[in-house]
């Protein structure tokens, strides 16, 4: 097979990796206007709070690459993982480019649904990426994506409510959170804390006691360990004691954000993806009223999970579209584009060079979140990693909403992991 690409140096190498071919002539660098293709991109960001900023970047991309048409499709995050797998397996209907959650990449790569980017122009400056976000793109010694945005969970709080309650600093432990919540309620009448009834949002309680979900080195399920039980008991006690609002069984996340934006709850555990949402809320008081601190510590440490999203390219993209796909991802993930998103949305860059740009250095939200992310814990980057959270979500509802015994609920999670997620792991 002889392939001729135009526009991006080393794009040809990507086509060779994907197609398994060799012996073609080298790629040629030409005017970006000569690059012609039509690409589909599935954007899994929030269509209201984040989507418009990504569409602005597409318009900027087309100023340089006017003949590369981007079919922008906003795909609900909760549907995208299975929708992509279904389309990729059928070899029909999958997007050329996908904004994938970090845990999806090892899974998709193990199924053969992603291009390996090794040798492509997208990894020419690989050392510019922050190591932990980049690590989520690795599988079996190859790299299948580049990190678009990184994040973690932090304690977000209302500065005015803290001031009204006479609290001068963010609590640093869950015990201090419980005390602060009681003070806030007594002095202001506002509820102190809301914990979203989702498994991801309980990871700081698990990590805080030194726990984890699985031991990948020992191939062992540890989700129901004594450490994890202790951590979940801390979260449950905050709800049962009244320090935290009892979450509803349905739309716990939406309720949390509504109460926080309306200044009806003083503290939540959430990430930088909600900064733009809080900023635009007419009842909150602007970003000057938003406090950001590391998640409180348990008995062992303060710990929050690494999250974020990566750009990946479907392995079924025709070879003659490869150069355009690389050019698009390279533009969207440049330091300048990441700085644009940081300014617009408060999203945390994954490039070291982006943090050197003035607009990022002078961004108070980014400055506040960067230490949070720097200290965050990498999740198990195994193909099954994206399947951990269904059972965890059930557990979170059981312990926070239904007051089920944490040990019994975590035992059920362990059984689910053994039966359906990592059956080769010891329990």
Question: Does 4 score more than 80 pLDDT?
Answer: no
Please state, in angstroms and rounded to a whole number, the distance separating the CA atoms of residues 28 and 270: 46
Q: Above 50 in pLDDT, residue 23?
A: no
Q: Is the dihedral of CA 346, 352, 354, 358 positive or negative?
A: positive
Residue that has been written with the tokens 């040990």 in this structure: 407
What secondary structure letter does DSSP report for 74? E
Top-tier CATH class for 11-144+307-374: alpha beta
pLDDT of residue 376: 85
State the pLDDT at residue 349: 95
Q: How confident is the model at residue 49 (pLDDT cuts 50, 70, 90)?
A: confident
Domain definitions of the chain by residue range:
11-144+307-374, 154-304+382-421
Mean pLDDT of 342-347: 89
Give the pLDDT band of residue 70 (cuts 50, 70, 90): very high
375 vs 48, 153, 302, 341, 381, CA distance in Å? Answer: 30, 11, 9, 22, 17
- Fold designation for 154-304+382-421: D-Maltodextrin-Binding Protein; domain 2 (3.40.190)
Cα–Cα distances in angstroms (integers) from residue 370 to residues 59, 165, 170, 172, 355, in the given order: 29, 28, 17, 17, 10
Place of tokens 């003659």: 320
pLDDT band at 1 (very low <50, low <70, confident <90, very high): very low
> What pLDDT, on a 0 to 100 scale, did the predictor assign at position 61?
98
pLDDT digits (tens, 9 = 90+) for 271-286: 988 988 999 999 999 9
Residue 288 confidence (pLDDT) above 50? yes
Pick the more confident residue, 2 or 399: 399
SS (H, E, C) 209-236: CCCCCEECCCCEECCCCHHHHHHHHHHH
Would the pLDDT of 12 be above 60? no
Segment 236-269, tens digit of pLDDT: 999 999 999 999 999 999 999 999 999 999 999 9
Q: What per-residue confidence (pLDDT) applies to 3?
A: 28
Does residue 215 have a pLDDT over 80?
Answer: yes
Identical fold between 11-144+307-374 and 154-304+382-421? yes
d(CA 224, CA 406): 9
| Overall pTM > 0.75 | yes
Local confidence band at 359 (pLDDT 50, 70, 90 cut-offs)? very high
Provide the pLDDT for residue 17: 42
User: What pLDDT does residue 2 have?
Assistant: 28
Average pLDDT rounded to a whole number, residues 163-174: 97
Q: Which of 138-147, 319-328, 341-350 has the lowest mean pLDDT?
A: 341-350
* DSSP 3-state of 174: helix
Distance (Å, whole) CA 362 – CA 98: 30
**With 70 as the cut, is the pLDDT of residue 9 above it?**
no
**What is residue 14's predicted lDDT score, i.e. its pLDDT?**
40
Share of the chain above pLDDT 90, in %: 83
Sign for the CA dihedral angle at 172, 175, 181, 184 comes to: negative
Q: Which residue do the tokens 């506040």 mark?
A: 368
Burial of 47 (0-12, 13-18, 19+ CB in 10 A): middle
Rounded to the nearest 10°, the torsion over CA 326, 332, 335, 340 is 170
Backbone angles phi, psi at 242, to 5 degrees: 90, -5
SS3 388: coil
Would you call 117 exposed, middle or buried from its count of C-beta atoms within 10 A (0-12, 13-18, 19+)?
buried
Please give the average per-residue pLDDT across 104-113, as a whole number: 97
- Burial code of 102-112, b = ≥16 C-beta within 10 A, e = fewer? bbbbbbbbeee
Tokens of 16: 């060779």
Tell me the residue ranges of DSSP E strands in 195-352.
214-215, 220-221, 244-245, 265-270, 290-294, 307-313
């Amino acid at each position: 097979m002889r392939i001729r690409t135009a526009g991006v140096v080393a794009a040809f190498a990507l086509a060779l990796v994907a197609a398994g071919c060799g012996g073609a002539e080298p790629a040629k660098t030409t005017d970006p206007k000569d690059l012609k293709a039509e690409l589909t991109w599935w954007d899994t960001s929030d269509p209201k709070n984040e989507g418009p900023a990504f569409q602005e970047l597409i318009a900027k991309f087309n100023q340089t690459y006017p003949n590369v048409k981007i079919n922008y499709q906003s795909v609900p995050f909760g549907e995208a993982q299975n929708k992509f797998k279904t389309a990729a397996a059928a070899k029909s209907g999958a997007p050329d480019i996908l904004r994938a959650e970090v845990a999806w990449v090892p899974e998709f790569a193990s199924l053969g649904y992603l291009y390996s980017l090794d040798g492509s122009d997208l990894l020419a400056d690989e050392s510019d990426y922050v190591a932990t976000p980049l690590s989520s793109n690795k599988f079996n010694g190859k790299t299948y994506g580049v990190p678009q945005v990184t994040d973690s969970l932090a304690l977000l709080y209302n500065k005015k409510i803290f001031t009204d309650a006479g609290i001068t600093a963010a609590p640093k432990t869950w015990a201090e959170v419980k005390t602060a919540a009681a003070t806030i309620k007594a002095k202001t009448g506002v509820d102190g804390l809301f914990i979203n009834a989702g498994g991801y949002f309980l990871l700081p309680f698990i990590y805080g006691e030194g726990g984890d979900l699985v031991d990948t080195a020992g191939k062992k399920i540890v989700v129901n360990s004594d450490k994890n039980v202790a951590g979940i008991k801390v979260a449950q006690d905050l709800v049962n004691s009244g320090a935290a609002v009892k979450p509803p069984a349905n739309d716990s996340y939406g309720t949390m954000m509504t109460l926080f934006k309306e200044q009806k709850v003083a503290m939540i555990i959430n990430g930088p993806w909600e900064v733009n949402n809080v900023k635009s809320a007419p009842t909150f008081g602007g970003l000057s009223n938003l406090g950001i601190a590391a998640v409180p510590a348990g008995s062992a440490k303060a710990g929050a999970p690494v999250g974020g999203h990566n750009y990946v390219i479907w392995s079924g993209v025709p070879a003659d579209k490869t150069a355009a796909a690389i050019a698009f991802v390279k533009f969207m993930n440049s330091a300048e584009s990441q700085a644009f998103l940081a300014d617009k949305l408060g999203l945390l860059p994954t490039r070291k060079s982006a943090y050197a740009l003035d607009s990022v250095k002078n961004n108070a939200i980014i400055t506040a979140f960067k230490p949070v992310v720097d200290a965050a814990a990498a999740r198990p980057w195994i193909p099954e990693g994206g399947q951990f959270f269904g059972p965890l979500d059930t557990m979170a509802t059981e312990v926070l909403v239904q007051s089920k015994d944490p040990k019994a609920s975590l035992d059920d999670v362990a059984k689910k992991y053994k039966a359906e997620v990592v059956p080769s792991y010891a329990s």
